[in-house]
């Protein structure tokens, strides 16, 4: 291995280590199936959840949406609608 390849590999390792512990949002596609008291029922992987509209798009039943779970958190209590699809 030459010096250039070693340098590139070292930089890649440093970047990978830095990104390992980083938290990030996850966006999941879904469809609004019901609305009640400013909450929207969506289905993800066969499970129903009631979530809020986080960006004031006021989706109607049948609207395809993106659901965001903040900071890599899989807790759907923190999830919210972040955009229309």
pLDDT one digit per residue (tens) for the chain, 85 residues? 689 999 999 999 999 888 877 778 889 999 999 999 999 999 998 999 999 999 999 999 999 999 999 887 777 889 999 999 9
**What span, in angstroms and rounded, lies between the C-alpha atoms of 5 and 11?**
10
Instruction: Return the domain boundaries, the chain.
Output: 23-84
67, β-bridge pairs: 28, 81
* The two three-digit tokens of residue 54, written as one number: 């986080």
Specify whether domain 23-84 bears CATH 2.40.50.140.
Answer: no
pTM of the model: 0.73
């Amino acid at each position: 291995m030459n010096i250039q390849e070693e340098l590139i590999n070292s930089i890649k390792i440093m970047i990978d280590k830095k990104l390992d512990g980083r938290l990030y949002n996850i966006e999941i596609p879904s469809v609004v199936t019901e609305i009640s008291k400013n909450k929207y029922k969506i289905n993800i992987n066969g499970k129903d959840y009631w979530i809020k509209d986080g960006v004031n798009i006021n989706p109607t039943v049948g609207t395809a949406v993106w659901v965001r779970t903040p900071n890599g958190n899989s807790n759907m209590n923190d999830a919210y609608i972040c955009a229309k699809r």
